[in-house]
Chains A and B, each alone.
Chain A
């Protein structure tokens, strides 16, 4: 049976139509990922309609190709323009763009793409080996854990991006959580902070916030550049890239597992996968002073983590029909449309489906590695274009990106508003990334906190009786108190006393 299904899957991939579908879908995915505003979710959703007349296996091949290409493609605009193509690449921009400014954009893209590739492969291995185990673990995440995970995400992101002043990082993150709460709440549909604006009742979309915070400051900055200073592009040797990857083998492995685990938790997704992996590596780094100024280790962890979340997000889709992320939710709908019913009965009803997914993902990630590196040879030349010409065009792309989510002019106006906020935040050195993560996680935090309290009649006790919840609380406290000098002094004195005793 195993051999038969495997042969069937390989026959699809190696048929002329399969090869064409694979290359084209990954290419379209990469372009979607690169363009700010066009996300993996949108790519999968748009292509779902186009694949309607395709045979099931080919449609799955196209959709998985788009998904993998789009999540990986986001790193190129993040590195070259400091504008993450997808929210999942926000952490890559922190390390990648400084490298591009130093002339190492090509090498940074190579490292990012290869890390994405390894991340996807690690997550595929986990899909095959640990689907039942990870599903049961992910299901242990109740409302309490989901709320604490959101707080944990904001706190670590605040710590990581603050440049030595975590207060500002946390302000940014909690402000993001507050922004996410604008509009009708998910439990009672009660309109919050809408100030009578009908457009605000549906909330503030993520993409206008992201494009505004990251893209707009770059556009405004171009108005001030007196002379065109072409950024240097130095040719890189693949050997150098491989050496960086070899040095980071453990980082890649850990980021892959972390990213995949984050992806497997329903509703968390690639963005958190990238940030948690980035945090884990930064914590362990022997050269923390290099972080934020262009550190390859950060790119490896971030890109490996966000792409590994793809496999993670597919695990609950396959075993429970519960999507782990937004693109995975669209993917699930597409699977249903093509007659596949993922869930507990998958292996009895359509056993070949799991093999299709695994084989297609493996080949899609190989094609992604190949195409992304070929494309980067051309995209890297964007650094030579005069900012004063490039940035007005980027601004129009930002406008389109903000519009296409809901087809509302209001979103473009919000993009401008958040752009101005982004410029102001950059000026007073408050990092934008925690705010973006706050906007991503805000509704999850609200819904889960209230649900857990309602279920326990307003008691907070359940937060302190569940093991995973306690672990999160300890982590959050350590992260916050770890910034306090008095706390560190007390800890040091305790440990010293123990040692001397």
Chain B
């Protein structure tokens, strides 16, 4: 998977073959549907009421539909390629993804978001946590890490932080995390 492929996250390019991804999706969906059906049958047994009145009834129906759809998706994904070929494609795509610079950037950006949400929010004051999180994201997004760009990012983070707090906390009286 090269850099152009990662861009496709928002659907910029429609020509990328995704048969191997459909293949994986179908397998994951199949396993998930079976697990849902088993869990839902457990709910019915636990409740000891009529099957159609139990909390597991609709989940079983939905999981059943998903199971059928996953089987269709699985066979559709094998229309253009054999099982063996799909396995090779998945291996290649995995290696290319791991090596892709854009994938690395997406992962680092995601990690910053996760650190902000899981480790800063709720543990520090909102304005401080948000300033740190926002500044980190803006600095990360600078393509050239020059002092001028970093200072600019910090100023934008501070202004954004103040604006968000003024609008939400004071104007709309919305409680902040």
Contact = CB atoms under 8 A, between A and B. Distances in A.
A458 B50 contact: yes
A400 B176 contact: yes
A453 interface: yes
A251 to B, nearest CB: 26
Contacts of A416: 113-114, 117
B73 A167 contact: yes
B32 to A, nearest CB: 9
B134 A393 contact: yes
Contacts of B76: 167
A222 B57 contact: no
A445 B121 contact: no
Nearest to A412: B117
Interface in A446-490: 446, 449-450, 453-454, 458
Interface size class of A (residues with CB under 8 A): 35 or more
A171 B118 contact: no
A140 B3 CA distance: 55
A177 to B, nearest CB: 5
A446 B61 CA distance: 10
A174 B141 contact: no
B55 A192 contact: yes
Interface stretch (A7-15, A269-277, A425-433): A425-433
B137 A428 contact: no
Contacts of A170: 65, 69
Given A171-B73, A178-B62, A188-B55, A221 B130 contact: no
A427 B21 contact: yes
Task: Classify the secondary structure of A's interface with B.
Answer: helix
Contacts of A392: 134, 137-138, 141, 160
B177 A224 contact: no
Contacts of A167: 69, 72-73, 76
Nearest to B105: A223
Nearest to B12: A221
B133 A396 contact: yes
A174 B66 contact: yes
Contacts of B51: 458
A138 interface: no
A396 B112 CA distance: 12
Contact of B177 (A181, A220, A412, A420): A412
Interface in A158-175: 167-168, 170-171, 174-175
Interface stretch (A121-129, A300-308, A368-376, A402-410): A402-410
A412 B130 CA distance: 13
B22 A46 contact: no
Interface in A173-194: 174-175, 177-178, 181, 185, 187-188, 190, 192-193
A38 B168 CA distance: 10
B58 A449 contact: yes
Contact of A171 (B66, B130, B142): B66
B177 A399 contact: yes
A234 to B, nearest CB: 21
B109 A220 contact: yes
A231 interface: no
Interface in B157-177: 160, 164, 168, 172-177
B85 to A, nearest CB: 18
Interface of B: 3, 6-11, 18, 21-22, 25, 29, 36, 39-40, 43, 47, 50-59, 62-63, 65-66, 69-70, 72-73, 76, 102, 105-106, 108-110, 113-114, 116-118, 121-122, 130, 133-134, 137-138, 140-143, 156, 160, 164, 168, 172-177
Interface of A: 38, 46, 82, 167-168, 170-171, 174-175, 177-178, 181, 185, 187-188, 190, 192-193, 217-224, 226-227, 388-389, 391-393, 395-397, 399-400, 403-404, 407, 409, 412-413, 416, 419-420, 423, 426-430, 445-446, 449-450, 453-454, 458
Top 6 nearest A-B pairs by Cβ distance? A223-B109, A392-B137, A388-B141, A190-B55, A453-B52, A428-B21
6 contacts: A171-B73, A188-B55, A224-B105, A396-B130, A396-B164, A399-B116
